[in-house]
């Protein structure tokens, strides 16, 4: 990171921010020797809609800055001393490392490797090997969706990187097409399940969440962002004329970065182009309103919905569907006016 990456954060707020970040992630111990904080972004050229492939929670930017600044913050000795006084003891031999997942090429770039302590050199080598293996597997899994399913592993990697640098490529990746669900529950609920890349996941354990502050944060921040993303895809599919941006091949960029016109006239087009939704033969996104699964007591969920107008409007007006997972794995849907229906399925 830059020499003064956390300089803009007041000294009095550094420990507060570090504690808030760790508790929101449920990352309060025990800690591994090497903890990697991974943001995500994309790589494409000649693409006016490139920001739609980056991080929605970062306002269409990549997560690089966030990952690097948080890593620097958590490596600060004075911050760690403050965290220890609040019950979060980060071992002296633990190091936080920022990284960026390129979702177009499925490669992960590790930042500031040159300042990783020497005692972690073996761990760093092992991490890079694991990331390379994960990239190979992920590219193989995604290859059929971009017409590369018949190629070898090496050829897939080469072609995927070439696509990210191809000025004529109108579908560098599928981004968040076909998103359908948001799950905040212990990772054990979904580990081993094939979710088809359609779910936003939060590792959340309500029994360690004092006063349900983390649940409130999840429901008022990432859940809302997921709804924005879901609605952008939904609207762009069901009514691309009004909520999408038409044919990408015909776009003309206006004012550098203001927007696009389709062809040489008409109004500015909003939403996603057809090429982000359709592969030329079939729709790649199924327009469903977001299903939110929360493993938490009904009373806590109802209380948060009641106290936040935006959340209540989304739920009561059917712009997203709320389900509760109980301790046995039963899934209960929240109907209108806060009525919880009988369990209909299980998640385990």
Separation CA 101–CA 67 (nearest Å):
11
Residue 2: predicted pLDDT: 46
Residue 192 has pLDDT above 90, yes or no: no
Q: For the ranges 89-93, 222-226, 321-325, 335-339, which has the lowest average pLDDT?
A: 335-339
Residues 137-158, mean pLDDT to the nearest whole number: 92
Residue 85 has pLDDT above 90, yes or no: yes
Residue 224: predicted pLDDT: 97
Residues 90-114, mean pLDDT to the nearest whole number: 97
Instruction: List pLDDT tens digits, range 11-51.
Output: 889 999 999 999 988 899 899 999 999 999 999 999 999 99
Residue 219 has pLDDT above 50, yes or no: yes
Residues 6+ apart with CB under 8 A from 195: 181, 201
Separation CA 163–CA 227 (nearest Å):
29
Residue 348 has pLDDT above 70, yes or no: no
Tell me whether strands 95-102 and 107-110 are parallel, antiparallel or unpaired: antiparallel
Mean pLDDT of all residues in the chain?
93
Q: Residue 57 — very low, low, confident or very high, per pLDDT cuts 50/70/90?
A: confident
Residue 265: predicted pLDDT: 79
Nearest 5°: the CA angle 279, 280, 286 is 50
Instruction: List pLDDT tens digits, range 240-253.
Output: 999 999 999 999 99
Instruction: List pLDDT tens digits, range 286-318.
Output: 999 999 999 999 999 999 999 999 999 999 999
Q: Residue 153 — very low, low, confident or very high, per pLDDT cuts 50/70/90?
A: confident
Residues 144-157, mean pLDDT to the nearest whole number: 91
Q: 82 is written with which tokens?
A: 């403050």
Say what percent of the chain tops pLDDT 70.
98
Residue 59: predicted pLDDT: 76
Q: Residue 6 — very low, low, confident or very high, per pLDDT cuts 50/70/90?
A: low
Q: Residue 10 — very low, low, confident or very high, per pLDDT cuts 50/70/90?
A: confident
Residue 319 has pLDDT above 60, yes or no: yes
Separation CA 114–CA 190 (nearest Å):
36
Q: Residue 272 — very low, low, confident or very high, per pLDDT cuts 50/70/90?
A: very high
């Amino acid at each position: 990171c830059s020499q003064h990456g956390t300089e803009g954060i007041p000294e009095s707020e550094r420990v507060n921010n570090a504690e808030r970040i760790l508790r929101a992630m449920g990352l309060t111990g025990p800690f591994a020797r090497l903890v990697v904080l991974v943001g995500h972004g994309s790589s494409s050229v000649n693409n006016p809609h490139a920001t739609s492939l980056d991080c929605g929670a970062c306002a269409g930017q990549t997560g690089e800055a966030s990952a690097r600044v948080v890593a620097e913050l958590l490596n600060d000795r004075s911050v760690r001393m403050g965290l220890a006084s609040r019950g979060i003891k980060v071992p002296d031999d633990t190091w936080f490392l920022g990284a960026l997942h390129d979702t177009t090429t499925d490669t992960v770039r590790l930042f500031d490797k040159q300042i990783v302590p020497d005692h972690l050199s073996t761990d760093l080598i092992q991490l890079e090997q694991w990331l390379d293996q994960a990239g190979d597997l992920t590219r193989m899994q995604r290859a059929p969706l971009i017409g590369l399913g018949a190629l070898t592993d090496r050829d897939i990697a080469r072609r995927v990187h070439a696509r990210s640098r191809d000025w004529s490529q109108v579908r560098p990746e599928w981004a968040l097409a076909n998103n359908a669900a948001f799950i905040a529950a212990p990772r054990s609920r979904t580990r081993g399940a094939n979710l088809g890349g359609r779910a936003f996941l939060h590792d959340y354990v309500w029994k360690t969440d004092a006063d349900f502050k983390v649940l409130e944060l999840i429901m008022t921040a990432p859940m809302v962002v997921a709804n924005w993303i879901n609605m952008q895809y939904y609207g762009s599919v069901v009514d691309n004329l009004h909520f999408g941006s038409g044919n990408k091949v015909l776009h003309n960029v206006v004012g550098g970065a203001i927007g696009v016109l389709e062809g040489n006239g008409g109004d500015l087009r909003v939403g996603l182009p057809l090429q982000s939704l359709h592969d030329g033969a079939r729709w790649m996104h199924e327009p469903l309103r977001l299903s939110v699964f929360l493993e938490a007591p009904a009373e806590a969920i109802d209380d948060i919905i009641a106290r936040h107008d935006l959340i209540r409007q989304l739920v009561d007006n059917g712009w997203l569907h709320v389900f509760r997972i109980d301790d046995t794995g039963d899934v209960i849907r929240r109907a209108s006016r806060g009525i919880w229906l009988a369990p209909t399925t299980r998640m385990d």
